[in-house]
Amino acid sequence: MSDFVLVGSPIEEPPIEDKTARPSMQPGETNPNSPSYLAFLDTHPFVRASVIDKIYGCIVGSALGDTIGLYTEFLPKNACETIYKSRKFSLVEPVTEIHADTHRLRFTTCSWTDDTDQALLILLSYLHHPSKPLTHLPQDFAARLQIWLSHGLLALSRPPAGIGRLVGSVVTSPSYLASPVAAATAAWERSGRNAAPNGSLMRTHPLGVIGVGLSEEETWDVAAAVSRTTHADPRCSVACLIVVGLIRGLLRGEVTREAHIDALVERAYAHFLSNPSLAEAATPEPPIHFSKHELTSHTSAPSLDALSLDSPREMGYVYKALGAGILSLRMCMRARIPSRLPPHTLFEDTMTDLIMHGGDADTNAAVAGALVGAYLGHTSLPPHWREGLVDGPWLEGKVARLCARVGVLEGRADIEEEHDEQADGGKGLLSAAELEARDRAMVMSIMERKKAREEQERKGKGKGFAAWFGN
């Protein structure tokens, strides 16, 4: 069973938390007098198992969306339709052949991209430092991100690839670790207060899982603090608040239909505006398009076509990814109306429809995969994607530890440390010589794969992919 509703009428709105009696706290701080937010796990024998299934669905679903999205990342919609005529993708043999350009050749076949790498930095930080309050998490994430920028994901010996322009400029600032928010704000100011890319949204979903045992406000505060370590634009913060709030609500059985989505968008926006430490970036000179209408035009988009996801100038805009993720969740909810059973391929069909619109497809699908995965659960993920995911067993092992750390696995919160959860992956940082050798080997690998593909094309054995876009 991948869905559940808390005890009570299934048509009742979820209870609204009392926010007036709560004193002002720092991001991630927990009120010691607050009730246990995990009490809902004991309301029905099946609830705990359902929540665990949804947590796996969220984390693994996002990684699968990221991996499948790489097939069409940065392509226009019409090219996606021509290159991938069958609209079928497989990560197990026979593996779907990927469009052969230099961008895609940088990544290992059947592997996720930087989107999931950065989400894992948050997850690993929490596993390494799970104690509350979570005020340490934003700074620890920033330190891990700086390491990742040069060394990659050391736990898996994955080199960095696909680094966003804004993240790169912020994290390489000499004063970054002294004040990540100040460095991010300075970069935003240099953009004319208009840079609102999707880089913090793509990584935020683990915080929704961590927040299952926190209040909604506490979860939002941590999400905003982590977002602002690289992205100062208020639109980025609002988008992260909405996604982590939805994931938290999906796991807790408080978000089960579209009206709940709309209500959460309203609450997240209101929380942002009412919090001086967050809203200060929006005044006295609000960035272009920071308005309620701009937000809701994306969160209530009627179709993927309406979002123009492959727009060359706007494909990386944070509200594009937010809108794509929320619309994907809405479409799954509509497919699960009581009068008929949803197709067993609902996750696969939804992700495929999304990535076939091109644009920043891996990020759009990473966000959507987290939301839809948290709604449908791990059991709804297609086996021919899940079983072929590189490092999938390692990822699922970390999800198991996450379930224990957040308290969803009863009596399992106190788990032993694993060395690969340290900032250096338990292996130590690479030397300058090792970094140079790694980069040289990566370039050689790309050249060899490109040459092999071109030779295959010349022999007429390929699919003709290389004819579409120059490398």
Contacts of 231 (CB under 8 A, 6+ apart): 166, 184, 188, 196, 197, 199, 200, 237, 318
- Asked whether residue 363 is marked as a ligand-binding residue, the answer is yes
Reduced DSSP (H G I as helix, E B as strand, rest coil) percent helix, strand, coil of the chain, to 5: 55, 0, 45
- Asked whether residue 101 is marked as a ligand-binding residue, the answer is no
- Asked whether residue 115 is marked as a ligand-binding residue, the answer is yes
Q: 307 near 320, Cβ under 8 Å?
A: yes
Residue type, 62: S
Residue whose token pair is 């089960």: 256
163: tokens are 């680094």
- Asked whether residue 204 is marked as a ligand-binding residue, the answer is no
Q: 52 near 408, Cβ under 8 Å?
A: yes
Cα of 462 vs its chain's centroid, Å = 33
Q: How many CB atoms lie within 10 A of CB 294?
A: 12
- Residue 81's nearest CA partner among 313, 358, 346 is 358
- Residue 58's nearest CA partner among 293, 444, 398 is 398
Q: How many whole angstroms separate alpha carbon 369 and alpha carbon 185? A: 29
Q: How many whole angstroms separate alpha carbon 410 and alpha carbon 395? A: 21
Alpha-carbon separation of residue 421 from 124, 131, 370, 383, 398 (angstroms)? 5, 15, 22, 27, 9
- Asked whether residue 113 is marked as a ligand-binding residue, the answer is yes
The length of the chain is 471
380-383 contacts at long range (C-beta below 8 A, 24 or more positions apart): 380/2, 380/57, 380/344, 380/346, 380/347, 381/57, 381/60, 381/61, 381/64, 381/347, 382/64, 382/345, 382/347, 382/348, 383/92
Q: How many whole angstroms separate alpha carbon 138 and alpha carbon 228? A: 9
Q: Is the dihedral of CA 248, 250, 256, 259 positive or negative?
A: positive
- Asked whether residue 362 is marked as a ligand-binding residue, the answer is yes
- Residue 55's nearest CA partner among 395, 437, 402 is 402
Residue whose token pair is 């899982």: 209
Helices (H), 176-314: 180-190, 205-210, 216-227, 234-252, 258-274, 276-279, 292-299, 304-307
User: Which residues are annotated binding-site positions for Mg(2+)?
Assistant: 113-115, 360, 362-363
User: Which residues are annotated binding-site positions?
Assistant: 113-115, 360, 362-363
